[in-house]
């Protein structure tokens, strides 16, 4: 990963972050999950959490360490957290992430992942699992600049990792024509009080 680019621009797009066979394993795993393994994604946190399908239509599954494949991904991303801290001194404390499934036609309207001073989410990561994805399949991640200008339109191709500052970049997920899978996560600061860490979700 280009840490200099992340420091200078606040975001980085990494093609082929993981090798194809491992991406395929994650993709096959996501496809094998039952409907009961997923929950309707919501917006907000804690007592302000709500679902609103006019804003967000994906389904999610939070990764846990008691399942081997999920644990391996979490461990790998924790190793990346340590690298970021060594290179950029960001003081990242932990990581949370979920699988996301966007059925055909599903979208997520423009939003920020964190608001300055109101969240401990610092860096957002999005890792894509979709083999042989084409422009015509849609489902792009669109990232916006301060004036609402489009900075990047990113195709959700298998193996691609996107990392960006959670409280800086407004972004959205466009509707796609195929089932679309990704793993979305956040590196967080520790804003615990009396040893109780902030609610993760």
CATH 2.60.120.620 fits 3-36+55-188, yes or no: yes
pTM of the prediction?
0.89
What is the crossing angle of helices 68-88 and 20-32, to 10°? 130
Are residues 96 and 200 in contact, defined by beta-carbon separation less than 8 angstroms? yes
3-state secondary structure of 137: helix
Which residue, among 61, 57, 2, has the nearest Cα to 26 in the 3D structure? 61
DSSP 8-state secondary structure symbol assigned to residue 159: T
Give the model's pLDDT for residue 193.
47
State the residue for tokens 């109101």: 118
Give the model's pLDDT for residue 16.
94
Q: Which stretches in the chain have pLDDT values below 70?
A: 43-53, 116-119, 191-201
Give the model's pLDDT for residue 144.
97
């Amino acid at each position: 990963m280009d840490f200099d680019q992340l420091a200078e621009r606040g975001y980085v797009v990494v093609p082929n972050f993981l090798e194809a066979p491992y991406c395929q394993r994650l993709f096959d795993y996501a496809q094998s999950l039952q409907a009961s393994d997923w929950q309707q994604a919501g917006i907000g946190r804690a007592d302000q959490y709500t679902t609103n399908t006019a804003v967000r239509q994906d389904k999610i599954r939070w990764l846990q360490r008691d399942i081997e494949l999920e644990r391996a991904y979490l461990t790998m991303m924790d190793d990346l957290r340590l690298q970021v801290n060594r290179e950029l001194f960001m003081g990242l404390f932990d990581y949370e992430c979920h699988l996301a499934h966007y059925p055909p036609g599903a979208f997520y309207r423009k939003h920020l992942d964190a608001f300055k001073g109101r969240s401990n989410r610092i860096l957002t990561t999005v890792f894509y699992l979709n083999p042989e994805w084409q422009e015509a399949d849609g489902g792009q991640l669109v990232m916006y600049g301060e004036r609402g200008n489009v900075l990047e339109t990113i195709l959700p191709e298998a193996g691609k990792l996107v990392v960006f500052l959670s409280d800086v970049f407004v972004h959205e997920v466009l509707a796609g024509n195929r089932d679309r899978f990704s793993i979305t996560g956040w590196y967080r600061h520790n804003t615990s009080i009396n040893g109780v860490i902030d609610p993760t979700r």
